[in-house]
Amino acid sequence: MINVISSIIILFVPVFVAGIVVIYCWRQGWSARIALFVCAALISLHTHAYYFPAKPLKDRYANTMLKTSP
């Protein structure tokens, strides 16, 4: 039961907070809308770079992890 509650909190609280931030920024005017768009673009670029790094970066990371793993 605690797992279900914690999963709901982990999944829905960030979405709820993001929705509140979007609504607040949207009501503040164009400068806040532009700032919101820029933040969303930077977050999506960072997420994309994290999940899909370039292959040479993957190879270097794998080599580093293999050298340092026990």
- Select the more confidently predicted residue: 50 or 38: 38
Mean per-residue pLDDT over the chain, rounded:
77
Spans of all domains in the chain: 2-68
Mean pLDDT to the nearest integer, 21-39: 88
pLDDT in tens, 15-25: 888 888 889 88
pLDDT of residue 49: 66
Mean pLDDT to the nearest integer, 20-49: 84
The CA distance from 68 to 70, in Å, is 6
Distances (CA, A) of 21 to 4, 27, 28, 49: 26, 10, 11, 24
